[in-house]
Structure 1
């Protein structure tokens, strides 16, 4: 019998507020999103408060514009994350039940969808404010892993997105995942996509002058996240996919499954390629 670390059964609801006869649960997952955005904003402000870090010793945004950018990113994360889950993972189900698409409270968010939503929000924001896109994305990329760190810890608290079965001494038995020890893959992702990637990007942005060359930090974020996610997918239980009739991606899903790939790896590959493309573009400039 392999050694098992007890799973810390933490209530996903931090506190429930009773207000006018209604119960309002405050969940760790929602606090992770909120905390990631607010901490990210505070760190982004620190970057723009140091003009010497940026090209021409001029920060790309002022404090008020940075706060406005946060609002755009909130909508990008929520709408993109939800629509990404619908389109990437369960299109057949939501085609049959379109009324459930906007039911965010029912669960189902995709990082890659949230990433596309944020990218769209950044492009629109920069066009509206005539701001340098690559400089803005560099600043956002340098602080984004903080949100990933908190989000993966919230996944662990929720007891979701657990790993594959394992005999490793740090395996855990997750509620709802049977009685077999599994990798705590949420913590692997928190460490790699969150803590390690943040430390690397922050060091390069603030100590090595990478913000002086727009696109370098963004490119490394793409490469770092894509590689870390693809690696952790080796230990994470693959996401459940809808194979039934009505799924427009049925053949593509079967093709990737036949070659041992997960949806997370398939979606991470374009990020890695884009990252290397940005590096090549920046070095040519």
Structure 2
């Protein structure tokens, strides 16, 4: 069993102003998305040019933050929100949801696609490879902040998280690191490789949704369920929210390879 490394959640301070590692991870996420977008914008036939990348990232950032907060409140803490509606706007108190962030990005891309007169599905294909590295950085932020830890286990690499307030000698899965590797690095490799060649429109988004949904569904088995959120049978709320992702991802692949059947996706 391993002890959690003594990591100060505050990376550095400038007088009374404190910069937290979690905020830095968000910065890394947006920088990585920008770098991937710039690379893809240089490819022949790219749906987005380099001059449009900055606006794309801005729209995406608003979608992630607003949607992520809204999803956390509605999907995981709806009853509490009803007792304190203004809690939705107190983002400094923490709480973000990937599934909410995904919905926020979808809405933001709908608006941006209409603004620049581009295919919405084509734009989502362009965006999909930009997302995974940011997810990985976010999970590293969860690890540093000692949140969203795993279930109790006796595996040799189990970690004792002080914030979990467990009895002495109890270790947990470092599920944040599992997710960083699967939803971050491995998902990026899969989606980036798949997007390197022209694909039918909708295929890249479909692969992203299915792969992320699979990785998230699997890691939920070793992640501590959210306190106060009831299970649905044996499924956690996170697993339940992954089911629509599977369905939409499969639908996009059918649309891509059966309905359209042509390589017209933006690289």
Matching residue of 1:174:
161
Distance 2:228 2:59 in 1: 30
Residue 135 of structure 1 and its aligned partner are, at CA, apart by: 2.1
SS at match of 2:57: helix
Residue 35 (1) aligns with residue 9 (2): no
Matching residue of 1:55:
none
Matching residue of 2:264:
none
Residue 143 (1) aligns with residue 94 (2): no
Taking the TM superposition and a 5 Å limit, the aligned residue runs for 1:222-261 are 222-241=209-228, 253=230, 256=232, 259-261=233-235
Structure 2 residues without counterparts, runs of 5 or longer: 261-267
Matching residue of 1:154:
141
Residue 186 (1) aligns with residue 183 (2): no
Residue 200 (1) aligns with residue 197 (2): no
SS at match of 1:194: helix
CA contact (8 A) 2:47 2:126 kept: no
Deviations, residues 187-228 of structure 1 (Å, cap 9, x unaligned): 11011111111011111212xx1x432211110110011110
Matching residue of 1:127:
114
Matching residue of 1:107:
94
Residue 35 of structure 1 and its aligned partner are, at CA, apart by: 1.2
Taking the TM superposition and a 5 Å limit, the aligned residue runs for 1:15-30 are 15-18=12-15, 23-30=16-23
Moved over 2 A (4+): none
CA contact (8 A) 2:33 2:57 kept: no
Matching residue of 1:268:
242
Distance 2:143 2:163 in 1: 13
Counterpart of 1:12 (choices 3, 9, 12) is: 9
Aligned-CA RMSD value: 1.2
CA contact (8 A) 1:9 1:157 kept: no
Residue 110 of structure 1 and its aligned partner are, at CA, apart by: 0.6
Structure 1 residues without counterparts, runs of 5 or longer: 52-57, 243-252
Matching residue of 1:250:
none
Distance 1:25 1:44 in 2: 30
TM-score scaled by structure 2? Answer: 0.93
Matching residue of 1:50:
43
Residue 99 of structure 1 and its aligned partner are, at CA, apart by: 2.0
SS at match of 2:131: helix
